[in-house]
Amino acid sequence: MALLGAIEGGGTKFVLAVCDEDMKIVDRQSIPTEDGEKTLDAVIAYFDQFEDIKAVGIAMFGPIDINPESKTYGRVLDTPKRGWSGYDFMGRMKAWRDIPYYWTTDVNGAAWAEYKTGAVKENQSMVYLTIGTGVGAGIINRGHFLAGYGHPEAGHIMIQKHPKDDYQGHCPFHQDHCLEGLASGPAMAERWDMTAKELPDDHIAWEIEADYLAQAAVDFTVILRPDKIIFGGGVPHRENLLPMVRKAFADKFRNYLATPDFEDYIVPVSTGDNAGIIGCFYLAQAKLAEEE
Amino acid sequence: MALLGAIEGGGTKFVLAVCDEDMKIVDRQSIPTEDGEKTLDAVIAYFDQFEDIKAVGIAMFGPIDINPESKTYGRVLDTPKRGWSGYDFMGRMKAWRDIPYYWTTDVNGAAWAEYKTGAVKENQSMVYLTIGTGVGAGIINRGHFLAGYGHPEAGHIMIQKHPKDDYQGHCPFHQDHCLEGLASGPAMAERWDMTAKELPDDHIAWEIEADYLAQAAVDFTVILRPDKIIFGGGVPHRENLLPMVRKAFADKFRNYLATPDFEDYIVPVSTGDNAGIIGCFYLAQAKLAEEE
Ligand SMILES: Nc1ncnc2c1ncn2[C@@H]1O[C@H](COP(=O)(O)OP(=O)(O)O)[C@@H](O)[C@H]1O
Ligand SMILES: Nc1ncnc2c1ncn2[C@@H]1O[C@H](COP(=O)(O)OP(=O)(O)O)[C@@H](O)[C@H]1O
Ligand SMILES: [Zn+2]
Ligand SMILES: [Zn+2]
């Protein structure tokens, strides 16, 4: 039976999975993230169990080199994460089995799952913004991942500080000047001495959080003109957040340009917790089709 | 002799031009912008002089409908500019002569000239930011104009106000919250009671202006990862501005991601005042090649 593989590489755990031709998950396992070499030992031991894997989609925490023309394509770039800087991820996989691999970022993997299974049409544009331990974005422009000199790291756009916020910020690079520094889960936890999950619905934290996410939505709208902005990650699990983001977006954007109805424009994820591996399966399938 | 036409449609004037097969300008004329119908009468009277025009590139002030699948493709969208809302620009041109037309925004036209003649390689990504009466951006992602639900209007990204700036802002939609509201020529003139052109080099205006443009450069960098950010329009004629933008960019960005050397990354236009029509000629040529 022909199988496809998925590797969702996160900072704390790797999720490995295999599906059949109908995209049905056959097996799934989570392993702790260690250094590059040890983690890949475990990845390969896992996939060794399956004879007939035709292609693998890999959605890996960044920064990674995704430029096929670069000499370091397929490697992990400089990262504070121990044992990963420069690690030749794709080289190791290719040495294991020389099959097609789709290599992209973790947020792109999840974005692709939304793109294929959510309410986005072929050839439309989409931003998938995840707000969890970090803030990241997968951007799809008319069916293709946006990328240039490298992949986007759109969690670090500049943000206007809310007048009621005197937090010093959580980004090691940009302190309280960027979205990740002001709006990530750890930023909320440090600012309020309570995790995002614990903060009550009527806490001012949510007004401030919605303000920041709405600013991001304005920037994405005027630069990218997406058909949808999808909010993923742990923090948007809070159900009252997106309605507040829509309202703050309306206040800031002032109907400056045509957009889809806000209810269809600023939306939660639809794929849920398996998004990363589902995206990888679709990307593996696409890569396979392309090479055949 | 085969000719190509160019229409650069601006808010105060239209520049019309014709070039030969070697992209040599054969004729060029400027006409004042009136309402849609009257302006197009003059446009057509101009091109009627030339028998052998094979294709025309049109770079038009926005908002315009550039989505080929839309029912209003080729029209001007809602605009405060009198006699233009809903005007069927492309319909009028097609009725005149049914030849290939490339239809895009004014900033995209100028961006394309930079892309074809400046130091940007095929398949690279680029942002062309113009700071004049308005602020606008033409964005080229790996050889294609970025567009989605509509074309970008990236002059309206959200900006952090400089601590020494108490100006109330010039954008009718976003006041002092967006780049155009804080950094356009008219914003500078109103804030300082002096035009940008008149402001002395050592005026604090330039420190503040550089701060805002550097924030824009950070946002473009993390979202788009361009190979170049090109600054056009009247305000960057000031020669000490871009070095200040590079410095402010370094302070804000903190080397968070790899970029080209700042000297090659944050750069002035190279095409000069004919950029708009040169871009149109190249776009006309591309459209012609595509249809043949
Ligand atoms: N229901 C909830 N409401 C608000 N915040 C939540 C909720 N559930 C989880 N979170 C927050 O989400 C963050 C974790 O996000 P997640 O995307 O799961 O993490 P990671 O980025 O490590 O994968 C934590 O800050 C947590 O407090
Ligand atoms: N050398 C200069 N230094 C600073 N500002 C300048 C200079 N030359 C022109 N400007 C400013 O550029 C603006 C006009 O920009 P321009 O792009 O020519 O206009 P438009 O957008 O109407 O085409 C004015 O605000 C003017 O003060
Ligand atoms: Zn940051
Ligand atoms: Zn604005």
ipTM: 0.96
Q: What is the H or E stretch that residue B111 is in? A: helix B106-117
Contacts of A215 in chain B (CB under 8 A): 158
The CATH-assigned architecture of domain B121-269 is: 2-Layer Sandwich (3.30)
Distance, CA B150 to ligand 2 centroid (Å)? 27
Side-chain-side CA neighbours of B205 within 13 Å: the count stands at 24
- pLDDT, residue B46, reads 98
> Which residues in chain A have their CB less than 8 angstroms from residue B225's CB?
147-152
- Among B residues 185-204, those touching chain A with beta carbons less than 8 Å apart: none
Q: Where in chain A are all domains bearing CATH 3.30.420.40?
A: 3-109+273-291, 120-269
Confidence of residue B271 (pLDDT cuts 50, 70, 90): confident
Region B16-35: what's the mean pLDDT? 96
CB spacing of B148 vs A154 below 8 angstroms = no
Task: Give the C-alpha separation, B109 to B53, whole Å.
Answer: 19
Q: Are B240 and B273 in contact (CB under 8 A)?
A: no
A195 Cα nearest atom in ligand 1? 27
Class of domain A120-269: alpha beta
Q: Could you read off the pLDDT tens digit of each residue along chain A, which spans 292 residues?
A: 799 999 999 999 999 999 999 999 999 999 999 999 999 999 999 999 999 999 999 999 989 999 988 999 999 999 989 999 999 999 999 999 999 999 999 999 999 999 999 878 888 999 999 999 999 999 999 899 999 999 999 999 999 999 999 999 999 999 999 999 999 999 999 999 999 999 999 999 999 999 999 999 999 999 999 999 999 999 999 999 999 999 999 999 999 999 999 999 999 999 877 889 999 999 999 999 998 8
Q: Are A188 and A205 in contact (CB under 8 A)?
A: yes
8 Å CB contact between B80 and B30: no
Ligand 2 nearest atom to the CA of residue B10, by list position: 23
CATH 3.30.300.20 for domain B3-109+273-291, yes or no, is no
Task: Decide if A226 and B149 are in contact by the 8 Å CB cutoff.
Answer: yes
Largest Cα separation within chain A, whole Å, is 59
CA–CA distance from B254 to each of A159, A183, B51, B241 (Å)?
16, 19, 56, 20
Residues of chain B with CATH 3.30.420.40: 3-109+273-291, 121-269
DSSP string, B64-75: B---TTSTTTTS
Strands A13-19 and A3-9: antiparallel
Residue partners of A223: CB distance under 8 A and separation at least 6: B137, B139, B146, B152, B154, B157, B219, B220, B223, B224
